[in-house]
């Protein structure tokens, strides 16, 4: 059961749930990627995906629920904007640009998925997933 509260303990439990989910997801998806229909390219899951998402999505019950729908979000999200990485953010340093993508998830609402585009390789990496209504 996913805790719905806002205590530090609830957030830590949700963070643990998200990290466990990603670990299981990676075992079921050895390529660690899914094809996005809108971009017509693969979006990859890397360590930064797990770290950023678990730290941010765990703050909200709805965001935690959203992460559990990772396959649908990776496949169906649509690009809504592109921006430069935040200066001084070490986790965004490997990216030349950041894409903001959105996906409507039944029962939860609008989901924001941030995708980083790596320098040189242009590999698309899922950076963070959050429910917009909970930010």
| pLDDT digits 0-9 by tens, 69-104 | 999 999 999 999 999 999 999 999 999 999 999 999
In 3D space, the residue among 113, 26, 129 whose CA is nearest the CA of residue 77 turns out to be 113
Domain limits of the chain?
8-134
Q: Would you say the C-alpha torsion 95, 101, 103, 108 has a positive or negative sign?
A: positive
pTM of the predicted protein model: 0.93
Whether residue 133 has pLDDT greater than 80: no
Whether residue 135 has pLDDT greater than 70: no
């Amino acid at each position: 059961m996913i805790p719905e509260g806002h205590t530090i303990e609830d957030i830590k439990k949700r963070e643990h749930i998200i990290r466990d989910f990603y670990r299981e997801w990676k075992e079921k998806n050895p390529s660690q990627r899914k094809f996005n229909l809108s971009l017509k390219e693969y979006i990859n899951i890397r360590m930064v995906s797990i770290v950023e998402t678990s730290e941010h999505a765990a703050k909200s019950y709805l965001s935690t629920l959203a992460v559990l729908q990772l396959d649908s979000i990776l496949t169906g999200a649509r690009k809504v904007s592109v921006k430069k990485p935040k200066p001084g953010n070490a986790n965004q340093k490997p990216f030349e640009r950041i894409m903001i993508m959105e996906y409507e998830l039944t029962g939860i609402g609008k989901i924001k998925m941030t995708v980083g585009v790596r320098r040189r390789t242009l590999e698309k990496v899922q950076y963070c997933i959050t429910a917009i209504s909970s930010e």
